[in-house]
Structure 1
Amino acid sequence: MSRSSWHPDSLGERLPALRRRAALLRDTRAFWEARACIEVETPALVPVPGMEVHLRGFASRFEPHLGRGAGRDVWLRTSPELAIKRLLAGGVGSCFEVARVWRNGEVSPRHAPEFTMLEVYRVGLPMAGLMDEVEDYLRAVLPARAAHDGATTDLSLPFERLPVAEAFRRHANGLDILATVDPRSAEGDGVALHRAARDAGLDAPDGLSWEDLFFHLMLTHVEPHLGRARGTFLTHWPAPQAALARRDPADPRAALRFEVFAAGLELGNAFDELTDPVEQRERFLRDVAERKRLYGNAPGSAWDVDEDFLAALARGMPATSGIALGFDRLAMLAAGVPDLDAVRWLGGWPYA
């Protein structure tokens, strides 16, 4: 029978890594505060948990004390993003939050249903500038040689900045991913992507949507090459994967979004933030419709557009770039441990 994670022997084994996590938290606050970012705290219980189509949330219900007023459904947030952007619209300026977040069903050595996310927003800084700062941050808080699962990244080397289109050309037999995106609608053409993949000699299972096939090809052919000997910024994602990022004025088939990889791990996801409330509403409505099509009213999957967030965008959010980093993954690399449980104070409880 395995020991509980609170058992003195179990906790004692993890204490060196947990102390390293605590140091990482101190160093993180010092780094961003030195760049004139204020630390904020936003609610964990929210009316809309996030807008990502494929995430499942944890639902609850607020009931007023002694029946004073109507109750309402609430959620544990999947990210603090929508809340922090309200503050940006209100004029808070550059800021960061170390936030506890929840995503139902995610369990693996690299995933947990409850985890810590570091979100940083830099007002007036374009995407390239945010990449500079993230590179400096990772170099400041992680070992010079970050290692995980057989991959070792020398963080003293300049990070590669690799557009998704170039990554597909390089690692997916020359496939032109942007040729399968409509520049007017920003939608992906699944038939065109199936044809392009097969013409490139790649496996393209029947019945997959553009998005599903994109991620099948990404995970199979591209991601295994990222963040190995040196760090990688995977930039300029196809427009159907824009999420809350602006489209690239130079090529509307792409979005101003990047992910950062080191030691073979995806560590963070960043946007040059979309500030247009009309376009954001259109995207949210598509997301709600797609979630309903895929999951119906399944528990943890049904919620509507966040109207208050759109009202904040309409009020006016400044030009901003922002990133969400998995703090637990950073702690894994900082402590040199193989999985999230080693840097969680109570290990896998209550999900293990």
Structure 2
Amino acid sequence: MNGSRPAAAISPWWQPDIHADRRPFLLGRARITAAIRAHFAAQDFLEVETPVLQRSPGNEAHLHAFATTRLAPDAASDTLYLRTSPEFACKKLLAAGETRIFELAKVFRNRERGPSHHPEFTMLEWYRAHAPYEALMADCADLLALAARAGGVSMFQFRGVSCDPFQAPERLTLVDAFARYAGFSLEPHLSPAGLEPEVAPFAHAAAQAGIRVAVDDTWADVFSRVLVERIEPHLGHGRPTLLCEYPSSEAALARPKPGDPRVAERFELYACGLELANAFGELTDAEEQRRRFEVEMDEKARLYGERYPLDEDFLSALGQMPPASGAALGLDRLVMLATGARRIEDVLWAPVA
């Protein structure tokens, strides 16, 4: 031996001292998970288990999946993906006749890692058939309070921001959020459902408000930049925020709002500036859903040079799926807020190395 040693590595999570530091957060996670199961059971929801392996992992342009190869006994092969959400399978169960379901699903997202992102995480997803999406807003408020009680906190704290999980959430439309925080109006730049908004006037308005704009930006690029830089940091301060009525072009799986097809029945839940949940009044028009997926995959091919297959089984099921509303909530992020953890890895029993 030459006496040299590799640079010191970060100690693994299974070291007893590190596990002891994380254990209070993990015990909080166990209590919160048990409380969630009891909460849904009390409302006659069924807990379901859907496959992790999927033919299509989802069809959103900026969503990245892990792929794997399936080998048949005759050596034939094809590609399957680890799910990015249990959504397609859950909606097939609605088509089959279930009316209230939830799943605590392990899901997988590639290209994601950070203090509030992990490549494998747990998504709480639930669906109500024949219910308006406003019912999910009430569900979200209940879940925040439930998690706080189970986690033993009276206030959420994250990155210097406080949020009272027991206060009724503020309901804020995107039009109002732009007026309040972005420095220009969104309303003149909305288009009816099915039509792509014009990027040039929107980009010009954003640039005039001091937002960085690139010559090859799409409408969605500009919208996302305004949302991330100007709006999201202000949400969920003092009390939770329900950011709702997204432009229809930014809600590929949501139905248009009755009376105003420029916006969709989509909302996101925020606390302490952190996005916790995404919810829809579900689109059940199979042809329109196909069109939207194809637009998303064209954009994915343009940006990343790949596209995911459409789940034809899912599109067929939409034809008999009842009117419904559904939500997806990041369980790990909720546990972070409800236990005082600062990193998502502190609330995962065994983080990915």
- TM-score using structure 1 length: 0.93
Of 309, 318, 325, which residue of structure 2 is paired with 1:321? Answer: 325
Assess if the C-alpha contact under 8 Å between 1:187 and 1:239 holds in 2: no
**SS at 2:265 equivalent:** strand
CA shift in 2, pair 1:327/1:184, >3 Å: closer
Kindly tell me the number of residue pairs found equivalent between the two proteins: 341
Give 1:199 deviation, angstroms: 4.2
Give 1:200 deviation, angstroms: 4.0
Q: Distance in 1 between matches of 2:77 and 2:344?
A: 36
Aligned counterpart, 2:295 = 286
Give 1:202 deviation, angstroms: 4.3
Q: Distance in 1 between matches of 2:40 and 2:154?
A: 20
Q: Distance in 1 between matches of 2:214 and 2:238?
A: 32
Give 1:72 deviation, angstroms: 2.1
Q: Percent identity?
A: 43
Aligned counterpart, 2:99 = 93
Q: Distance in 2 between matches of 1:185 and 1:311?
A: 21
The amino acid that maps onto 1:148 is F
Aligned counterpart, 1:262 = 271
Alignment of 1:163-312 (within 5 A): 163-173=173-183, 175-183=184-192, 185-200=194-209, 202-297=211-306, 302-312=307-317
Q: Distance in 1 between matches of 2:28 and 2:288?
A: 43
CA shift in 2, pair 1:338/1:184, >3 Å: closer
Assess if the C-alpha contact under 8 Å between 1:178 and 1:253 holds in 2: no
Aligned counterpart, 1:78 = 84
Q: Distance in 2 between matches of 1:233 and 1:58?
A: 31
CA shift in 2, pair 1:36/1:322, >3 Å: same
Of 336, 340, 344, which residue of structure 1 is paired with 2:344? Answer: 340
Q: Distance in 2 between matches of 1:202 and 1:73?
A: 40
Give 1:224 deviation, angstroms: 1.1
What do the CA deviations read for 1:137-183 (whole angstroms, capped 9, x no partner)?
Answer: 2112223311111111012222100001100011112x221321221
Unaligned runs of 5+ in 1: none
Aligned counterpart, 2:4 = none
Q: Distance in 1 between matches of 2:336 and 2:324?
A: 29
Alignment of 1:4-15 (within 5 A): 4-15=12-23
CA shift in 2, pair 1:202/1:60, >3 Å: closer
- TM-score using structure 2 length: 0.93
The amino acid that maps onto 1:128 is E
Q: Distance in 2 between matches of 1:86 and 1:71?
A: 25
Of 48, 56, 65, which residue of structure 2 is paired with 1:48? Answer: 56
Give 1:84 deviation, angstroms: 0.6
Aligned counterpart, 2:108 = 102
Q: Which runs of 4+ in 1 moved over 6 A?
A: none
Assess if the C-alpha contact under 8 Å between 2:202 and 2:219 holds in 1: yes
CA shift in 2, pair 1:108/1:170, >3 Å: same
Assess if the C-alpha contact under 8 Å between 2:193 and 2:248 holds in 1: no
Give 1:101 deviation, angstroms: 0.6
Q: Distance in 2 between matches of 1:31 and 1:117?
A: 16
Q: Distance in 2 between matches of 1:326 and 1:57?
A: 17
Aligned counterpart, 1:123 = 129
Give 1:236 deviation, angstroms: 0.1
Aligned counterpart, 1:138 = 144
Give 1:71 deviation, angstroms: 2.7
What do the CA deviations read for 1:242-289 (whole angstroms, capped 9, x no partner)?
Answer: 120001122111011000001221000000000111111111111122
Assess if the C-alpha contact under 8 Å between 1:148 and 1:338 holds in 2: yes
Unaligned runs of 5+ in 2: 1-7
Give 1:201 deviation, angstroms: 5.0
What do the CA deviations read for 1:14-36 (whole angstroms, capped 9, x no partner)?
Answer: 11111111111101101111111
Deviates more, 1:209-218 or 1:176-185: 176-185
The amino acid that maps onto 1:42 is T
Assess if the C-alpha contact under 8 Å between 2:147 and 2:335 holds in 1: no
The amino acid that maps onto 2:332 is D
Q: Distance in 2 between matches of 1:327 and 1:243?
A: 23
Give 1:203 deviation, angstroms: 4.1
**SS at 1:237 equivalent:** coil
Q: Distance in 2 between matches of 1:201 and 1:7?
A: 48
Q: Distance in 1 between matches of 2:187 and 2:288?
A: 21
Q: Distance in 2 between matches of 1:287 and 1:275?
A: 17
The amino acid that maps onto 2:340 is G
Assess if the C-alpha contact under 8 Å between 1:186 and 1:252 holds in 2: no
